[in-house]
């Protein structure tokens, strides 16, 4: 399908997981892609793959969303045809640890808040004024079930995703009167590198998160993101929660075996 031909989509955190799957799903719809993450080599490989599979036009750039000056410089340096972002997918994010707050690591709190909240703000601030000026655009944040329910040890990660929900609702209000759409897509358990990152590289511990149940895939979320972005222009799917069938809440999952 080519529903998104002539559409420029920026995906942050496109080097893995949900962001990467979004890049593929938007490429399959004929979109042109701006792909950003810290691991530039992965983005380059992905761009080559999408060019050969879908003929996708892609511009990749290294971006650490926590680095405000770096975000400013990266956007200033974009070649002209890539300055007009139509769809922004604010996906870059992470959880670190599941420690009790009173035992938490302050540097990990900062990493989560700087990435999930401040990074999302920095990128949004660079992109949205152009959308308003052109009268066209859609901001899609990847929130989380963790932005709707707190769970033990989720403290700062949950707070960061509650902030994403608040910012989604706030941006929706601030853009009222413009044609710009604002959405949050909030998944429950998705099997990606998320838990490997959360448990600081402990693969065994990460695998246990998804043991005995069929978790969502990154592609499931990408499918929803593309769906949200392809509704008629007057329709704004503001909030979407997606859980595996085997998950009923942040703390309630049904596991076999």
Shortest reach from residue 109's CB to ligand 8X3, in Å: 16
157 flagged as catalytic? yes
Shortest reach from residue 20's CB to ligand 8X3, in Å: 16
Q: Which is nearer to ligand NDP, 176 or 245 (CB)?
A: 245
Closest to 34 measured CA to CA, from 76, 92, 83, 77: 83
Using CB distances below 5 to 8 A depending on partner kind, what does residue 117 bind out of ligand NDP, ligand 8X3, none?
A: none
Q: How many CA atoms lie within 13 A of 232 on its CB side?
A: 2
Separation of alpha carbons 123 and 119, rounded Å: 6
Query: Which candidate in 122, 151, 157, 210 is catalytic?
Result: 157
Shortest reach from residue 186's CB to ligand NDP, in Å: 7
Count of positions (residues) in the chain: 257
Separation of alpha carbons 124 and 121, rounded Å: 5
Q: Which is nearer to ligand NDP, 29 or 191 (CB)?
A: 191
Q: Which is nearer to ligand NDP, 136 or 139 (CB)?
A: 139
Q: Which is nearer to ligand 8X3, 3 or 100 (CB)?
A: 100
Q: Which is nearer to ligand NDP, 91 or 168 (CB)?
A: 91
Residues that bind ligand NDP (CB under 6 A): 12-13, 15-19, 37-39, 63-66, 91-94, 115, 119, 142, 144, 187, 189-190, 192-194, 197, 218
Residues that bind ligand 8X3 (CB under 6 A): 95, 144-146, 188-189, 194, 250
Separation of alpha carbons 181 and 231, rounded Å: 11
Closest to 116 measured CA to CA, from 182, 176, 166, 181: 166
Give the pairing type, strands 252-253 and 247-249: antiparallel
Residues near 238 by Cβ (< 8 Å), separated by ≥ 6? 168, 169, 172, 182, 183, 184
Using CB distances below 5 to 8 A depending on partner kind, what does residue 93 bind out of ligand NDP, ligand 8X3, none?
A: ligand NDP
Catalogue the long-range contacts made by 99-103 (C-beta closer than 8 Å, 24 or more residues apart): 99/153, 100/152, 100/153, 100/155, 101/155, 101/156
Shortest reach from residue 256's CB to ligand 8X3, in Å: 19
Reduce the DSSP state of residue 95 to 3 states and report it.
coil
Shortest reach from residue 2's CB to ligand NDP, in Å: 26
Using CB distances below 5 to 8 A depending on partner kind, what does residue 250 bind out of ligand NDP, ligand 8X3, none?
A: ligand 8X3
Active site residues per annotation: 157
């Amino acid at each position: 399908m080519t529903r998104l031909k002539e559409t420029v989509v920026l995906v942050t955190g496109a080097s893995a997981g949900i962001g990467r799957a979004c890049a593929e799903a938007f490429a399959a719809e004929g979109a042109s892609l701006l792909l950003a993450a810290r691991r530039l080599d992965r983005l380059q490989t992905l761009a080559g793959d999408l060019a050969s599979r879908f003929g996708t036009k892609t511009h990749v750039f290294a971006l650490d969303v926590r680095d405000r000056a770096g975000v400013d410089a990266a956007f200033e340096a974009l070649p002209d045809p890539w300055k007009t972002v139509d769809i922004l997918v604010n996906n870059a994010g992470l959880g670190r640890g599941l420690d009790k707050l009173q035992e938490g690591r302050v540097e990990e709190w900062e990493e989560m808040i700087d990435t999930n909240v401040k990074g999302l703000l920095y990128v949004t601030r660079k992109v949205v004024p152009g959308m308003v000026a052109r009268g066209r655009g859609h901001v899609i944040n990847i929130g989380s079930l963790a932005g709707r329910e707190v769970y033990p040890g989720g403290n700062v990660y949950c707070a960061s995703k509650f902030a994403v929900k608040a910012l989604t609702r706030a941006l929706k209000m601030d853009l009222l009167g413009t044609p710009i759409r604002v959405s949050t897509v909030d998944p429950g358990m998705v099997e990606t590198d998320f838990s490997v990152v959360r448990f600081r590289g402990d693969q065994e511990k990460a695998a246990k998160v998804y043991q005995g149940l069929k978790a969502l895939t990154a592609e499931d979320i990408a499918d929803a993101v593309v769906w949200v972005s392809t509704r008629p222009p007057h329709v704004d799917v503001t909030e979407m929660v997606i859980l595996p069938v085997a998950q009923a809440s942040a703390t309630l999952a049904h596991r076999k075996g």
